[in-house]
Homo-oligomer: A and B are copies of this chain.
Amino acid sequence: MNGRPRIKDIAQRLGVSPATVSRALTGTGLVAEPTLSRIREAARAMNYRPNVSARNLRTRRSMSVLMVVRDIGNPFYLEVMKGVEQAAREAGYSVLMGNTESNPERETEYFDMLRDGHADGMILMTGKLPAGLDAAGIAISDLPLVVALETIEGSGLPHVRIDNLAAAREAVRHLVGLGHRRIAHLTGPLPEIMSRLRRDGWRAAMHDAGLAVPEAYEQRGDYLLRSGQALCAILCDLPEPPTAIFCANDEMAFGAIHELRRRGLDVPGDVSVVGFDDIYLSEVIFPPLTTVSQPRAEIGRAAMSLLLQVIGGDEVAAEPIVLPTMLKIRGTTGPAGTSG
């Protein structure tokens, strides 16, 4: 009686077998009504809690999943996580957060956690798989994996994402519609497919409008604020600076706006800026940011549902799930100036 009660303690107290107690408490087995309520009653009275390690060992499941992101410091993931957590909770799962910081070693580490029983499945929000998985004789497609936000080319894994190209195209079309002709783009890290898609969307929209795409108008960034700021400075120093900048994410857009202001330029009076992601506070900065909004919580929920199917061994559609985006037209975009 010292310490927490075990199933055995309940069984002894009630004069039944541990097996019966287990069945009653898990709700699976058939247990006669009087016994059932007696056991439940006793469990509550004794403040019983099943030991998860023992249960997990026996059932070979951990009832938790891993959500792995590039940078846990990025608030963008928060709402996605909320969606994941919600769907997970409903299914009785816990969510473990993994942070790779784009460190390959840590990516591998999370794959290890899958193998050692820490988690039953994993939602990857990183753009790539750790190297050396094949070498280790591990077939990706056999692992309970789901990819969200990003795309891992050729992996054949279930995906949940948005149509990055179409969304970027629409955003740039909005600028074109405002009369802008000199529209620049700050890209994300181009090795990644997501950055390339957004860039291609920008190019496509420019092409649609019959506009030139000077090489200098495509500046390569890394999604961070500082790069938005620095690249914007480069654009401003061009002989023919752009009148509008489409940024591959909101952070870079903030950085760009910061730099424009620093130079005494008005947004959107002199230069229009469009972001991507609609992160926390985008709506609240001044002027509020025009940006592409992703259904973040939805993405999280969908990814978790998909993962539950994978874990459950169900067949999962090969087609990626594509969720709709919305262009939020707010205060950082306006008509092109007469000089544009």
Contact = CB atoms under 8 A, between A and B. Distances in A.
A13 B78 CA distance: 47
A60 B62 CA distance: 16
Interface string A87-107: 000000011110100000000
A32 interface: no
Given A52-B116, A82-B73, A47 B281 contact: no
A337 interface: no
Contacts of A116: 49-52
Contacts of A174: none
Contacts of A318: none
A163 interface: no
B52 A117 contact: yes
Contact of A112 (B49, B73, B96, B286): B49
A272 to B, nearest CB: 16
Interface string A69-91: 00011110011011001000000
A4 B115 contact: yes
Interface stretch (A21-29, A250-258, A304-312): A250-258
A284 interface: yes
A75 to B, nearest CB: 4
Contact of A57 (B51, B75, B78, B258): B51
The 3 A-B pairs with the shortest beta carbon distances in the complex, nearest first, are A53-B56, A75-B75, A53-B57
